[in-house]
Amino acid sequence: MISPQDRLEQIQRIIVTAEQMRSIESRVFAAGMPIAALMEKVASKLAHRIAALYPLPNPRRVGILVGPGHNGGDALVVARELHFKGYEVMLCCPVSKLKELTEGHLRYATSLEIPCHPQIESLQTCDLLIDGLFGFGLERSLTDPIAPLIEQVNHWHQPILSIDLPSGLHTDTGKVLGVAIRATQTLCLGLWKLGLLQEEALEHVGSAELIDLDLPLTDVLAVVGDSPLVQRGTAQAAIATLPLSRPPTTHKYKMGHLLLVCGSRRYAGGALLTGLGARASGVGMLSIAAPESLKPALSAQLPEALIIDCPETPEGAITAFPSSFSLDSSFDAIACGPGLTSDATAIVEQILASQCPLVLDADGLNILAQQGTIPTLQNRQAPTILTPHLGEFKRLFPDSTVTECRVTAVQRAAQQTGAIVLLKGARVAIADAQGNTRINPESTPALARGGSGDVLTGLMGGLVAQAIAKLPKETSEDLRTSSISVDLIQSGAWWHAQAGILAAQERTELGVDAYTLTQFLIPALRQQVDAADSKTFSN
């Protein structure tokens, strides 16, 4: 039997579409759970959490927006429970036609002398607003009388807490359906909705939290599968995937040998930042192929690295590897791209033709796009990880529907190329060719600084090299490829984001420079591991 802690961890990772959530609810109701009973449970948990987040005496006056469906019913039961806790509750129900259960709760709220007004202006003096207009499944654009009401509320200054999703967001894509509530906080019910983890929703979701409704795992997994394709990253899953434990008799050659190919005279920092990211990964051996003019600077900052000084153009870009150098089996992985410039096309072509696992970023991606992304990668037999930002992604996949839905766009790109594709952004989305998809739920705008991606490339390269190094040398290419999973790549993205979050807390949200970011990689991981150990011990 699964423990409550393991069950909650599993629930925290599951992401559902509107259709999947309907199917899960249908199974629960068919098994005998009355809709009214589930509504009472939902509202009880919501009221308890709201009271903890916004304790009396301030705020005291709470305004609640009531919609026509079961989301409105949840809001009305929350209103009743907050009323009993001593809050001064006011309702605004802008529609006259309600579902039967919701209408019954409105009658009871009125009998308790909780005032209900059709006009939103009556709630303007409230200390807190609760959005219970629409839950999951909304697909049409909002119009009168709801749209102008939401526009008005969004211009007020009170905190807004949304139940399940901010009203007006598409459940799956996170798109705004005409207009949507800009919530301060969203309490998602039962299971994470895909739209809440899409970048398009970020300006409306605020701080998001899952309210566990004790939905039976058997019903949930019957719909999403025992190993759901789309999952939300968690600290526990990331820590479990990272190479944090080492055999007592290990040595540097067993901990991975990573080759970085990066940097130019114009973008010398690209090589350094990528190297510092790789250093933090714990990789056993680090080699850096860079223009020969960068060797003194790299050696000074990364004395443990083997610097392969390469011939360079008059402008300072790599033209070739040294004559004595070959891309043979001595490297477990290659990370390539930061700071190269397009003058390094021949080098990137040679790397793409190799049979070494590869993390490709920045100018490496731009050169790949020029060569033809899909046919080039379909010819590669070794594991390939692409880490584009949005602009690079559009160049790599010009026919992509990334503006419609980042998740489906990344899935399609991975399927077309056979690569693992990581699309950078405030909500990193990662997919492999089989459709396995991970979404990193946390980040910080402080990472919006030049060089942050270079650090991620080095960190990711080091993790890939360590994963490959654990395999016997005679391992087949299929097994080598399967050893580099979306979970490993997600762990790297999570680690990078946690470093940014910690650095921003100690520095400033205006931005954390990439060099400072590298200094927070180890402290951030240590903090997260300690927190996970403490949580496990306390449980």
- CATH code of the domain in which 496 resides: 3.40.1190.20
Kindly state whether residues 19 and 127 are assigned to the same domain: yes
The answer on whether 170 is annotated among ligand-binding residues is no
pLDDT (tens digit per residue) in 381-408: 899 999 999 999 999 999 887 877 899 9
Is 141 assigned to a binding site? yes
Residues 196 and 261 in one domain: no
Whether this prediction's pTM lies above 0.75 is answered by: yes
Pairing of strands 306-310, 384-386: unpaired
β partners of residue 437: 230, 431
* Cα Dmax for the chain: 88
Residue 233 belongs to some domain of the structure = no
Same domain, yes or no, for 480 and 406? yes
Compute the distance between CA of residue 69 and CA of residue 390 in angstroms, rounded to an integer.
37
Distance spanning both ends of the chain, measured CA to CA: 17
Residue 358, burial from CB neighbour count under 10 angstroms (0-12, 13-18, 19+): buried
Q: Give 318's DSSP letter.
A: B
> What's the pLDDT tens digit per position in 219-267?
999 999 999 999 999 999 999 999 988 888 888 888 999 999 999 999 9
**Are 418 and 281 part of one and the same domain?**
yes
Q: Is 29 labelled as part of a ligand binding site? A: no
- Same-domain pairing of 220 and 260: no
Q: Is 358 a member of any domain?
A: yes
Same domain, yes or no: 346 and 476:
yes
Question: 15: part of which helix (H) or strand (E)?
Answer: strand 15-16
Q: What is the pLDDT, as a whole number, of residue 537?
A: 46
Residue 137 counted as an annotated binding residue: yes
**Listed residue (394, 384, 390, 328) closest to 360, CA to CA:** 384
416 neighbors 408 (Cβ within 8 angstroms):
no
Q: Are residues 315 and 277 in the same domain?
A: yes
Q: Is 139 annotated as a binding residue?
A: yes
Is 136 annotated to bind ligand?
Answer: yes
User: Helices 345-352 and 363-371: crossing angle, nearest 10°?
Assistant: 80
Number of domains in the chain: 2
Question: Is residue 370 within 8 Å of 341, Cβ to Cβ?
Answer: no
d(CA 33, CA 443): 38
**In angstroms, rounded to a whole number, what is the distance separating the alpha carbons of residues 26 and 44?**
21
Residue 194 covered by a domain: yes
326 annotated ligand-binding residue: no
Question: Is 399 among the annotated ligand-binding positions?
Answer: no
Please check if 140 is assigned to a binding site.
yes
Question: With the C-alpha atoms ordered 240, 242, 245, 247, is the resulting torsion angle positive or negative?
Answer: positive
> Do the domain assignments include residue 296?
yes
Question: From the CB of residue 254, how many other CB atoms can be counted at a distance below 10 Å?
Answer: 15
Specify the 3-state DSSP secondary structure of 88.
strand
Ordered alpha helix ranges (H), 291-430:
295-301, 345-352, 363-371, 373-378, 390-396, 406-417
Verify that 203 and 319 share a domain, yes or no: no
pLDDT along the chain (539 residues), means of 10: 89 97 97 95 96 91 96 96 96 92 95 93 95 94 93 96 97 95 98 95 96 96 94 96 89 92 96 98 97 96 96 94 86 96 95 96 97 95 96 94 87 97 96 96 92 98 95 75 90 97 83 95 96 66
Whether 294 is in a domain gets the answer yes
Amino acid at 109: A
Q: Backbone phi, then psi, for 531, in 5-degree steps?
A: -65, -40
CATH number at residue 67: 3.40.50.10260
Residue 246: predicted pLDDT: 86
Is 138 annotated to bind ligand? yes
478 is in an annotated binding site: no
Pairing between strand 420-423 and 429-431? antiparallel
Q: Is 339 annotated as a binding residue?
A: yes
- Is 277 among the domain residues? yes
Give the other-Cβ count within 10 Å of 306's Cβ.
13
- Output the pLDDT for position 202: 94
Residue 135 assigned to a binding site: yes
In a domain, 300, yes or no: yes
Shared domain check, 411 and 266: yes
Is the domain of 323 the same as that of 440?
A: yes
Residues 129 and 9 in one domain: yes
Q: What's the one-letter identity of residue 386?
A: L
Q: Is residue 539 part of a domain?
A: no
Run of H or E including 156: none
In whole angstroms, give the CA distance from residue 31 to residue 28: 5
Q: Are residues 258 and 187 in the same domain?
A: no
The domain containing residue 169 runs over which residues?
4-228
Instruction: Determine whether the annotation assigns residue 453 to a binding site.
Output: yes
